[in-house]
Amino acid sequence: MRQRVLSAVYGTLLVGSALLSGCASVSHTAYPPIQADRSPEALARGEGIFRGACEGCHRGPDSQRVTGQAMKDAPGWLGQLHTANLTAHPTAGIGSAKDEELARVIRYGVSRDGRLIPMPASLMGDKDLAAVLGFMRSRHPLFEADATVAPHTEFSFLGGLAFGLVTRVPEHPASGMPVPPKGPTLEYGRYMAHVLDCAGCHTDSFDPKDADGSKGFSGGREFLGADGKPIRSANITFDATGLQGWSLEDFTRAVRDGLAPGAIVRYPMPRYRGADDVDMKAMYEYLRSLPPRRHEVPGARPHSTPAPGSPSASTSSQAVEPGSPVRTSAPAALAGLVLAQAEPKKDVDPAALFSRLGCTLCHAPGARYHDRIVKAAGKSEQDLAKWIRNPEQFVPGTTMPTYASLIDEPTALALAKWIRAGGPGAGK
């Protein structure tokens, strides 16, 4: 009996060790025969997809290049997860990698040495995959050679076990995956929603197959916010507990600018600023076509209340037919987050405004991006004010919301002056 118990324990440890060492055995997955497309049209398309689906994970908070970073938004029980250096460096980065090797990583989540990695496999079609490879091979500053060596991912025992149990090589063909015709259609919307991995973050499961099940897109998956506290993804089906009542304008502002009705879209959700109006319309219609799934996720997103006098002020979201678009007057609802649009002659409480805009979540002492605001204090008030209102003009891939529609220049200048004087760390 003792021998059986010891054998069982030993067997379990062997399985766990195998999972921890890579969470999957060496895979002989085919290499997609796809080459980088460097045409101007492909580079523009590739940049839009890369910034939306890749940059947020591979560019750290203090880097201007995609040198990889620790995935601090992943729950701690998974272990220490790190993303790869994607710069043109021949050894630390991807400078010596072949296009088909990179294509396999993206399409199957299989590393160059043949192991499954904690990176979502992509349903990206051949043409878009070639465009992304073209952008990665471009001379864009993001990919300037950098010798920073990205640490290897080290799963905890439980993390490795969970990853190994649910992760499989996807059954995608090596080539011949189409890109649907671009247009405001359900087909193209579904494609873009999966390319940007909306389901991966907004489904409470590590099994990709659950995205097409009863949990799909209903939120609840746990991450760590920029302040290091647990945060769960929102329900993005058009149920009353999700996006019911959101107009296309609301959805577009939330996804592109990070400004949802009555709330700031928080880290770690990226800003998909490369998505154009057709992309947004298609994804919006696709999400509206999904079965509304009732799933109240505590703290994921404050429910908005239309401002008095707005077109939807007299409409209750509970009374709306599931999935029906209703004007929620996003600018009016968002204005409730700030201290009523400050006038030049009006005193502004910078500390209170900083908090109401959600800035403390990322920039308070100890938060993920606090060092950035410390460095920003060295800029002129005018330059800092411009950054506050339109950060995407300076760092296109930034996760910081675009605040230009909420705060005018005098208000931004008041904030800039406060930040230069010490800002959130002044009392420390």
Kindly state whether residue 106 falls inside one of the protein's structural domains: yes
Question: Is 413 a domain residue?
Answer: yes
Do 20 and 157 belong to one domain?
yes
Torsion angles phi and psi, residue 233, rounded to 5: -70, 155
Helix 157-166 × helix 2-20 angle, to 10°:
80
Does 356 share its domain with 329?
A: no
The number of folded domains in the chain is: 3
Q: What is the mean pLDDT of residues 345-373?
A: 84
195 and 148 inside one domain: no
CB atoms under 10 Å from CB of 312, counted, come to 21
* Domain membership of residue 73 as a residue range: 15-166
Q: Which two tokens stand for residue 394?
A: 């300076």
The verdict on 307 and 262 lying in the same domain is: yes
Question: For position 392, what pLDDT does the model report?
Answer: 87
Q: Which two tokens stand for residue 301?
A: 């997103």
Average pLDDT of the residues in 316-335: 43
Write down which residue in 284, 307, 334 finishes a domain. Answer: 334
Q: Smallest Cα–Cα separation from 386: which of 411, 358, 362, 365? A: 411
Are 161 and 250 in a shared domain? no
Mean pLDDT of 255-273: 88
Domain assignment present for residue 344? The answer is no
Is residue 84 predicted with pLDDT exceeding 90?
yes
Which region, left, alpha or beta, applies to residue 323 given φ > 0 means left and ψ of -120 to 50 means alpha? left
Q: How confident is residue 358, by pLDDT bands cut at 50, 70 and 90? A: confident
Q: How far apart are the first and last CA of the chain?
A: 62
Question: Domain for residue 355, yes or no?
Answer: yes
Place 202 in a pLDDT band, splitting at 50, 70 and 90. very high
pLDDT value, residue 115 = 86
Residue 212: per-residue pLDDT? 85
The angle at the Cα of 201, spanning 200 to 202, to the nearest 5 degrees, equals 100
Q: What is the mean pLDDT of the chain?
A: 82
Chosen domain end from 109, 136, 166 = 166
- Decide which of 334, 359, 387 is a domain's last residue: 334
Whether 303 shows a pLDDT value over 80: the answer reads no
Task: Please check whether residues 327 and 240 belong to one and the same domain.
Answer: yes
| pLDDT at residue 74 tops 50 | yes
